[in-house]
């Protein structure tokens, strides 16, 4: 699914430029109320701790981190298109375990 989304975004970026910029924000584990509702507070905290232990930046993302990336793409990235912005504390480059 991820490869398909990335391929589609590249195709759209090529087709729609220069009028439209197409970028993808790809969040990793993000601490949201959903995790607590679905897993319970203790389990949600454990999942976040395990993720932080593996992620190169040693943290799970917060919703504000994802929002900041989106705002940057809208307001500050005038010449950016066809990119995938990973907001995953570096998990996409972590060594597989």
Q: What is the rounded radius of gyration, in angstroms, for the C-alpha atoms of the chain?
A: 16
Q: What kind and span of H or E run contains 13?
A: helix 2-16
- pLDDT tens sequence across 41-92: 999 999 999 999 999 999 999 999 999 999 999 999 999 999 999 999 999 9
Q: Where are the domains of the chain?
A: 2-93
Overall pTM > 0.75? yes
> Domain 2-93 class?
alpha beta
Q: Write out the two tokens for 5.
A: 């989304």
Cα separation, 97 vs 91, whole angstroms: 11
Phi, psi for residue 67 in degrees, rounded to 5: -60, -40
Where residue 29 falls among pLDDT bands split at 50, 70, 90? very high
pLDDT on residue 21: 97
32 or 1, higher pLDDT: 32
């Amino acid at each position: 699914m991820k490869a398909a989304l990335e391929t589609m975004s590249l195709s759209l970026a090529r087709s729609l430029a220069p009028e439209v910029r197409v970028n993808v924000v790809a969040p990793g584990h993000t601490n949201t109320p959903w995790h607590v509702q679905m897993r319970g507070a203790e389990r949600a905290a454990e999942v976040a701790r395990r993720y932080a232990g593996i992620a190169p930046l040693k943290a799970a993302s917060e919703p504000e981190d994802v929002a900041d990336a989106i705002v940057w793409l809208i307001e500050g990235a005038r010449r950016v298109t066809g990119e995938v912005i990973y907001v995953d504390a570096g998990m996409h480059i972590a060594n597989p375990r």
